[in-house]
Amino acid sequence: MKYKFLAVFAVIGLMVGCVKDSFNFDKLKKSKYNPTVAAPLIFTSLSLAEMLKLTDSDLIQVDDDGFISLVYRSTLFSSTAEDLISIPDQSYNQTVSPGIGPIILSNGVTQTYSETQTMTFAAAPNQLDSIILKNGTLDIVSTSGFDANLDIVMTIPSVTIGGTPFSQTISISPNSSTNSSFSLAGYKFDLTNGGSTTNEFVVTFDLTLTGNGGTINSADQLDIDLTMSNMLFSKIFGVIDISNIAPTEDTVAISLFNAATGVGDFSIVAPQVRLYTQNSFGTTIEANFNRMEGINTNSGVTYDLSSSGSIPSPWSITGPTYSQMGQTIEDSLVITGTDVVAMINDQPKFFVYDINASTPSATSKIFALDTSKIEFDAEIELPMHGTIKNFTLIDTVGLDLGMDNVVDIILTSRMRNGFPIEFDITFYSLEWDGSTYILTDSAYTENSALVAASGVLVNGRVTEKTETEVDIHLNKSQTKNFSNATSMIIKAIASTTDNGTTNVKFYSDYELEFKIGAVAEILTEF
């Protein structure tokens, strides 16, 4: 978007590609010369509405009256719950020891045993009430020390899908091991252990031993290793640490102000910085801006808006309630005033921010979907109401005058200017030597004459076009170089009305008519 924030000032910049057209030489000042050859060089009529079609439509905003504003928006940061909250893998090494025997368990004879064990779900510092998983795997390694066939029914009552608890049967041969794997996708984990705590659940092991004539001893046991891995949530509830919700500090390049040279000095009467938030976490989030600074790397000047008092500290950003789960709550904050004016008019290249964002209390219960998001966007609005001085525009146009034996040339320009901009234009001649262009002469001007005066202003708005006609009489050396030139450089220095000292407004109906012609006297006798 380089240069586009000053696109409305770049009127002459659109002369690129303008074709030669009819030029009414009857209107030229002829009292000074007796022309024998007249040639149009540039003839164009441009409206600001046409110019805007060539610019970034996402950058330009035009209101119902045609007043123009330039808006630059950038996301400072955006984080989803899935980015911020991870569920660690869980690993449990359990032992089930019935303490039976010593007894001989005859063929086909069964012996049963049940045991319930409480397990801690490792999620600290989070205190989780429940999770609904969209992915996850439960791997079980079961090792039997019994000299009998063993059937294990493992049930987790608080882990349910469609209201049905997780329950799986595992069969093991005498004195052997087996591996099992089960999907946890779609299961809801209730981690309150009946509503009395957090990060806790119970597992029931129902063992059935079927005899083969072997001996069962009281020290025989079942070793069972449980691993829950690759768990991703679709919903999560509880006291959840999201203190890492924002990066400590980051920098956004403001491409609006990253033009290289020729921008000149400008001022905007009433710029605004707006902050937008989107919060779909089930909690209020408090944001503190430790730093919100515009930095101009050329001037070294910085403006820290966080110290201006325009931003609440903290800024409480409301989230959806339980009944609004899945919705996004939007909020915004407008920063105006002299600090913003000073920052914008210094043309900052970078916007540096440092935000702390967290829940109001470390013990607050929240909820989040995997898609829940907190996002901060910054928007800089530049209403095109202000001044600009010494904005430089350079263009090159081809020349093919077909003039031999020229002894006298007058460049004449005629402009009907409906913009609140005045132009001072300089011409340079270029000659092609077969491999490169050579600058053959310096400026063609006459007493640094103002080439185009600003349109007539009423309350900052142009209400009437101003017509300006200027003739530039070339000296002998300039005449020779210009007549031989293959190209012409046009350098325009543009300033708003009264040499950039009067605030003006830009509307889409502004229009400019621009004509340049050459009138030459040639030697007809030798």
| 482-494 CB burial, b ≥16 within 10 A, e <16 | bbbbbebbbbbbb
Q: Which amino acid is at 32?
A: K
Residue 268, helix vs strand vs coil: strand
Does the pTM exceed 0.75? no
The C-alpha atoms of residue 210 and residue 514 are separated, in whole angstroms, by: 103
Give the bridge partners for 370, in sequence order.
Answer: none
Q: What is the pLDDT along the chain (526 residues), one digit of tens a residue?
A: 333 333 443 333 333 333 334 444 444 444 444 445 666 766 767 677 776 666 555 678 889 998 988 888 888 888 899 988 999 999 999 999 999 989 999 999 999 999 999 999 999 899 999 999 999 999 999 999 999 999 999 999 999 999 999 999 999 999 999 999 999 999 999 999 989 999 999 999 999 999 999 999 999 999 999 999 999 999 999 999 887 787 667 777 766 665 444 556 778 899 998 999 999 999 999 988 888 888 887 777 788 888 877 788 889 999 999 999 999 999 999 988 888 888 888 878 888 888 888 888 777 899 999 999 999 888 888 898 999 888 776 777 776 655 566 777 787 888 888 989 888 877 788 887 777 777 776 555 544 556 788 999 998 899 999 998 888 888 787 877 777 778 877 777 888 899 888 999 999 888 888 787 777 776 655 4
Q: Pull the structure tokens for residue 357.
A: 């964002």
Return the CATH architecture of domain 71-83+242-383.
Answer: Sandwich (2.60)
> How many other C-beta atoms are found inside a 10 Å radius of the C-beta of residue 295?
20
CATH (residue range 86-239): 2.60.120
Distance CA 85, CA 372 (A): 11
Measured CA to CA, the distance from residue 524 to residue 90 in angstroms comes to 101
For residue 522, the model assigns a pLDDT of 66
What secondary structure does DSSP assign to 150-214, as a single string? EEEEEEEEEEEETTEEEEEEEEE-TT-EEEEEEE-TT-EEE-BTTTT-SSEEEEEEEEEEE-SSP
pLDDT of residue 420: 92
Comparing C-alpha atoms, which of 421, 399, 387, 408 is closest to residue 484? 399
Find, among 209, 334, 188, 333, the residue nearest to 271 by Cα: 334
Is-contact 123 199, C-beta < 8 A? yes
Domain coordinates in residue numbering, the chain:
4-67+388-522, 71-83+242-383, 86-239
pLDDT at site 19:
35
Peptide bond into 314 cis (omega under 30): yes
Residue 107's region, left for phi above 0, alpha for psi from -120 to 50, else beta, is beta
- Residue 40 identity (one-letter amino acid): P
